[in-house]
Every structure is written in structure tokens, then in C-alpha cells.
Chains A and B, each alone.
Chain A
Amino acid sequence: MPRPHPGTLIRATLRMAAGVFVAFIIFAPLSSLVIWSFTRKWFWPHPFPQELGLFYWRKVLEGDLFRALQSGFFIAVIVTVLTLLLTIPLAYLLARYPVPFKAAILLVFLLPHAFPQLPVFVNATTLLYRAHLAASVSGVVLIHMVGALVYAVWTMTAVFRSIPASLEEAAWNLGASRVKAFFTVAMPLATPGLIASTLLVFLYSFDEFTGTLLVGSPFVLTLPVYMYRTSVGYELQVASIAALILMVPGLLLLVVLERYLKSEYLSMFGRI
């Protein structure tokens, strides 16, 4: 049997060491979350919990966390649907027609992200109070849409731009109305991009914290707000469980985005 070349062996060892290092960087902070979520009792200076158990998982699943998860999910769905209904026609228009001040319009959607989040949302909150929309689901939906629109508008504009206009012209040419051509040609081709855009908006809303806390308090409870409240109360176990649950959609997003977000969309980002 031929012996492996010493160089190969060294390289394999190095690669494995690098892998372990990367895994440690990524998973070490997460592992503490996992440990905390199963902890009953853990006092300093003990290196490991003194008592483990499912007590807090049971408590969380019976109690408020489930309510927060539900309302957060509900809000994210509404935000996603409304945002995309507004975005698709606008993005199509921006991608296909010589709209004046195109760059300025696209920049407007970025503005809420261009300044520190806190002052922006505090100002928005006072406005929403005047409109009697504060501490309500509609107020939270509005504030989420302000932040989410940029993701949807920018991605969808890039998606529509990546579809050659001649594909629709070919349909018009054969007698299809503009609406018919849009739904039989542009939309099916934009679907992968639409899925990616949907996920971005959904996750933005699902994970949004500052605006939700300021606008939604005290009645609207979403998962990030719930996590904040419990960790402020030093219930680290509950906060850890909430964090772990919050992570799930993010991981799902990574997997799905990898499938649907095509590189040509990204290459269109700067060229609008």
C-alpha cells in the first residue's frame, strides 16, 4: 500500500485545524446559548451549570414566548405582503421606464437606514402617536415597512432589470397585452428574485427590534422585544431560548437564498 505523501498529511491536518477553529468561532457563542437554555441553576464561579433541565423550555412554550412568536409572525406576514404589493409595480416601473430622478427615488428608500436607528424611530413614534397608531399592530406594521421597503425595492428593481426587455417585446409582438406579457413572461422569470425578496423582508420584520419596542410598547409583543424584556429581568435562560428560536428563520434564509438569489441580480445593484 502506498504511503501518503508527508505534504498531503500536513495539509490535511492544517485544513482540519482551520475547520475546528472556524467552527469554534461560530459555534462557541451559540453553545453557551444552548447550555443556558437547558440550565436550572448556574452560579459563579462554577464552570458548568449545577442543575440542568427542561424547566425553562417548558415554561417558555407554555407562556408568553409563544404569544410573542405568534404576533411577530403575524406582523411579519402582513408587512411582507403589503411591502411586495407596493414594490412589484414600482420596481417594474423603475426597471423598465425612463423614470425621472430614478437614483433619487431609490435613495429615498435607503434614508431610514442612513441615520442612527434610534432618533429615526423616536421621531416616527411621536408622529405615530399623533396619528393614534402607536402601541398598535398597524403602527408596528408601518414602521417595519419603512425599514423593509429598501430591501424589496432594490432587489426587485435589480431582478426586473436582469430580465431582458426583448423577452416582453417578443410577447407584445405576438399579440400579448402589456398586462398579459407581464404575468406570463416578466413575473415567472422574476419569481426566484421575488422569493429572495420575500425572505429578506419577512426576516427584517421578524427580527426588527428598535422600532417595534418604541412604537409597539406596551401592547405589541414580538420575539426580539420579548427577548429583550426577559434578559433585562436577568432571566437568561428564557432569553437564550428566545435567541435560539429567533435564529431558526435566519438559518432557513441562508439555505433558501443560496438557492434563489442569482448572482446577476446582485450585479445589477449598482447599475440602476
Chain B
Amino acid sequence: MDVRVEGLVKRYGRVVALDGITIGFPSGGMTAILGPSGCGKTTLLRALAGFNPVDGGRIVFGAEDVTGLPPQARGTAMVFQQYALWPHMSVFDNVAYGLRLRKVPAAEVRARVEEVLHLVEIGQIAGVMQRRPGELSGGQQQRVALARALVVEPRVLLMDEPLSNLDAKVRQRLRAEVRRLQKRVGITTIYVTHDQEEALAIADTVILMNAGRVVQAGSPQDIYFRPENAFAAEFLGVSNQLAGTAEAGSLSVGAQRLPYTGPVRGSATLLFKATDATVIPDDLTTESGQALLRGTLEERLFLGSGYRHYVRIEGESVMVDGTEPVEAGPVTVRVPVEKLKIYAMASPEPVTDPARSTRTL
């Protein structure tokens, strides 16, 4: 069942939560909606479930326009952030709820509940079924919530930050399991998260949202390696940002010049990931294919897997990760040219800012 939204608009008073969103969710795929809090991703998910009526646009499941349908008639099933399991019912009754509403015979209810609990790998099914959700661990509760949604064989499975309340270890494991499970059942799944790592790991398609709009949609690799603008690049990874000015043939960052052949002219934003750069002791030799920026190493943190260096370049602090510690003092930050993203700055810098205007060549 492929899902499409066309020109979807949702307002809360004067706040525009969804600003004319048009996007498709491929049938049988796992699509992650990624974005910072308040970007409209949960609003979009709740609109798909039918909890919040929209102010404009259409929601289409397959060939059916469901925009006006109440949540009961949409055939979606949602896994909530706080699980939303019913504390007064046993695990069995929680999972059986949807089946009983559909007047499934008792024997079949039992069989299907056991089957789905087996599918979500809850372990010791017989014992768990009689317990109340409150007696289970967070991870087990989320498995029950997933089972409750899957047992009714929904047309679309909606997941609203389902793993965000779990501790890091459980989250990592469930992430892999959710993905495997989704591939196995093949239900069109839409997964909302603010965690870029989770979105990249779990989804076939990632939709990046900001301020009620879709910023970029594509495969996780596309989004990660080929961000289309500064917001996408910034959001997807520990990124460093430097202000510069681009002209034909060169790019200036403060007093430093880099060779540049791209299309951007005027005020520009330079972005690179902390993991893509390396710090080398101050070295003025140029290397082809490498952008070199001089700066001062101010601080170094040991992260376990390596060291994070804080280097001040032309007044701005950037982070550079490395496996070897480098001593404080003048250094050069080396970034492979293809890893250095350069975007035209959306709004020009205010010329009244003296700190910035002095750096403009």
C-alpha cells in the first residue's frame, strides 16, 4: 500500500505546522521522517493516522483518498512514543484488543496473539501474556506495543519515536530488530525520529523535514553523502560550519584562501564533518585534493574511540576527530575537497556586525 500526501497543510492558530507537504511513501518500504523537534514530523504522522484533521491537501492510501476518514476507518496502526499500552489489561488483552473488535473467534485470537508475540521475540510468551504492561521492562513494553499494532495487519504501520524512551543499548538492538521485522512482514512503515543515526540505520528512504517542509528525501546514503543544503548537512552528523566568501577560482575564509571551482558566488557556508577532517601540526605545504585551514588547537577531549580536537579557525571553533592526540598550538586542519560542502548562504550576513565584516575580504 503506497501512501501519498499532496499539498498537506496544518495550522495551529498562527503557527504553520505543515506547510504544503507533497511526498510519497513507497509501498512495503520503511520510510523515516527525520527532523529537529517542532519540524512537523509528528504532526505529519498524526495526520496520517487521522488524529489531527488537516487544513488543506490530500492523504491517499493506494487509490483511496482517506483525508476525511476518522482514525477508526484508516487501517493504520500506530506505535506510540510512550507505548500507550493499557495498564489495566494484561499483555494478552492489549494485543487481542484489535482482533476482538473485528469479532475474530476466541480460538483464532489466541493463536494470532501468540504468533505475533513470537514474531516480536518477546520470550516466555505464556508467562508474559498474563502480566500487566507495567510489570515489563521498557524494551518488552515496546515489543508488546509493536505486537498490538502488527496483529491487526494494518495497511500502514506508523511509528512515533518508538525507541526514544529506551536506554542506548536496548535501542541499538531493537533498531536492528524493527528493521528485520519490517522486511519480514512487508507492511508500509513510516517511522518518525529526531535521531539521524537511527533514521539512516533503519530506513530505506529518509525524508528530512524542517519548519513544516520537506528539506530533502532520498536513500540514507543520498542524504548522508549528498546533502542538498546547509541544513541537511548540518543535521546529518557532527558538522562544522565556517562562513566564507566564494568567487570564481577561490574561496576565502577570513584571511585564508582556498582554491574553489564550484558555482556558488558571494557569501557562503562551508561545512565538513568532524570525522572527515584531520589535524596535522602546523604545515604550510599544499596538497592537491585537500583543503588546508590554519588554526589554533585549543582543547582536546578523549572520547574512548579517539580524540576530539577543538580548533579555532578565523575566530570560529571547529571539531576534528582523530585517533592520535595532537598537542595544543598552531595546527592545520586538512579536509578532502570532496568532503567540504559549500552552500550559498541563505541570508546574507549583516554588514553591521563588526566582528564579521572585518573578516570579509
Give A residues with C-beta under 8 Å from B.
164, 166-167, 169-177, 180, 184-185, 188-189
Output the least CB separation between B90 and chain A (Å): 13
A-B pairs with CB below 8 Å: how many?
A: 55
With contacts A167-B86, A169-B71, A188-B88 taken as known, whether A175 is within 8 angstroms of B102 at the C-beta atoms is: yes
Write out the residue numbers on chain B whose beta carbons fall within 8 Å of the beta carbon of A164: 82, 84
Say yes or no for B80: interface residue by CB 8 A criterion. Answer: yes
Say yes or no for B231: interface residue by CB 8 A criterion. Answer: no
Interface string of B63-100 (1 = CB under 8 A from A): 00000001110001110101011111000000001100
Instruction: Check B101–A175 contact: CB distance below 8 A.
Output: yes
Contact of B98 (CB < 8 Å), options: A166, A167, A174, A177: A174
Output the least CB separation between A145 and chain B (Å): 30
13 contacts between A and B (CB under 8 A): A166-B82, A166-B84, A167-B84, A169-B80, A172-B71, A173-B51, A173-B72, A173-B76, A175-B98, A175-B101, A176-B72, A180-B101, A184-B97
Say yes or no for B217: interface residue by CB 8 A criterion. Answer: no
Instruction: Check B78–A173 contact: CB distance below 8 A.
Output: yes
Write out the residue numbers on chain B whose beta carbons fall within 8 Å of the beta carbon of A188: 88
Instruction: Check A189–B87 contact: CB distance below 8 A.
Output: yes
Inter-chain CA distance A122–B76, complex, in Å, is 58
Instruction: Check B51–A169 contact: CB distance below 8 A.
Output: yes
Contact of A169 (CB < 8 Å), options: B78, B85, B98, B148: B78
Write out the residue numbers on chain B whose beta carbons fall within 8 Å of the beta carbon of A167: 84, 86
Write out the residue numbers on chain A whose beta carbons fall within 8 Å of the beta carbon of B87: 189
Write out the residue numbers on chain B whose beta carbons fall within 8 Å of the beta carbon of A176: 72, 97, 101
Output the least CB separation between A155 and chain B (Å): 19
Inter-chain CA distance A175–B148, complex, in Å, is 12
Inter-chain CA distance A26–B101, complex, in Å, is 55
Say yes or no for B331: interface residue by CB 8 A criterion. Answer: no
Interface of A is mostly: helix
Say yes or no for B152: interface residue by CB 8 A criterion. Answer: yes
Output the least CB separation between A183 and chain B (Å): 12
Write out the residue numbers on chain A whose beta carbons fall within 8 Å of the beta carbon of B70: 172
Say yes or no for B49: interface residue by CB 8 A criterion. Answer: yes
Q: Which of B49, B85, B97 has the most CB of A within 10 A?
A: B97
Contact of A174 (CB < 8 Å), options: B51, B85, B88, B152: B152
Output the least CB separation between A108 and chain B (Å): 26
Write out the residue numbers on chain B whose beta carbons fall within 8 Å of the beta carbon of A177: 72
Write out the residue numbers on chain A whose beta carbons fall within 8 Å of the beta carbon of B77: 173-174
Write out the residue numbers on chain A whose beta carbons fall within 8 Å of the beta carbon of B49: 169, 173
Instruction: Check B88–A173 contact: CB distance below 8 A.
Output: no
Output the least CB separation between B84 and chain A (Å): 4
Rank and list the top 6 A-B pairs by shortest CB-CB distance, nearest first.
A174-B98, A166-B84, A170-B84, A172-B71, A175-B101, A188-B88
Instruction: Check A170–B152 contact: CB distance below 8 A.
Output: no
Write out the residue numbers on chain A whose beta carbons fall within 8 Å of the beta carbon of B98: 174-175
Write out the residue numbers on chain A whose beta carbons fall within 8 Å of the beta carbon of B101: 174-176, 180
Inter-chain CA distance A156–B82, complex, in Å, is 24
Closest to B101 in A: A175
Q: Which of A167, A170, A171, A177 has the most CB of B within 10 A?
A: A170
Output the least CB separation between A195 and chain B (Å): 14
Inter-chain CA distance A264–B102, complex, in Å, is 35
Write out the residue numbers on chain B whose beta carbons fall within 8 Å of the beta carbon of A166: 80, 82, 84
Inter-chain CA distance A169–B87, complex, in Å, is 14
Instruction: Check B86–A172 contact: CB distance below 8 A.
Output: no
Output the least CB separation between A162 and chain B (Å): 12
Inter-chain CA distance A188–B86, complex, in Å, is 10
Output the least CB separation between B68 and chain A (Å): 15
Write out the residue numbers on chain A whose beta carbons fall within 8 Å of the beta carbon of B85: 170
Write out the residue numbers on chain A whose beta carbons fall within 8 Å of the beta carbon of B86: 167, 170-171, 185, 189
Inter-chain CA distance A184–B89, complex, in Å, is 10
Output the least CB separation between A160 and chain B (Å): 15
Instruction: Check B80–A170 contact: CB distance below 8 A.
Output: yes
Instruction: Check B72–A170 contact: CB distance below 8 A.
Output: no
Instruction: Check B84–A169 contact: CB distance below 8 A.
Output: yes
8 A Cβ contacts from B22-78 to A = 49, 51, 70-72, 76-78
Instruction: Check B84–A175 contact: CB distance below 8 A.
Output: no
Output the least CB separation between A178 and chain B (Å): 8
Output the least CB separation between A75 and chain B (Å): 33
Output the least CB separation between B91 and chain A (Å): 14
With contacts A175-B102, A176-B101, A177-B72 taken as known, whether A170 is within 8 angstroms of B78 at the C-beta atoms is: yes
Inter-chain CA distance A175–B75, complex, in Å, is 8
Output the least CB separation between A32 and chain B (Å): 47
Q: Which of A167, A169, A172, A175 has the most CB of B within 10 A?
A: A175
Output the least CB separation between A79 and chain B (Å): 28
Inter-chain CA distance A175–B76, complex, in Å, is 9
Inter-chain CA distance A169–B145, complex, in Å, is 13
Write out the residue numbers on chain A whose beta carbons fall within 8 Å of the beta carbon of B78: 169-170, 173
Inter-chain CA distance A175–B51, complex, in Å, is 13
Instruction: Check A171–B97 contact: CB distance below 8 A.
Output: yes
Write out the residue numbers on chain B whose beta carbons fall within 8 Å of the beta carbon of A180: 101
Output the least CB separation between B98 and chain A (Å): 4
Inter-chain CA distance A189–B78, complex, in Å, is 21
Inter-chain CA distance A169–B52, complex, in Å, is 11
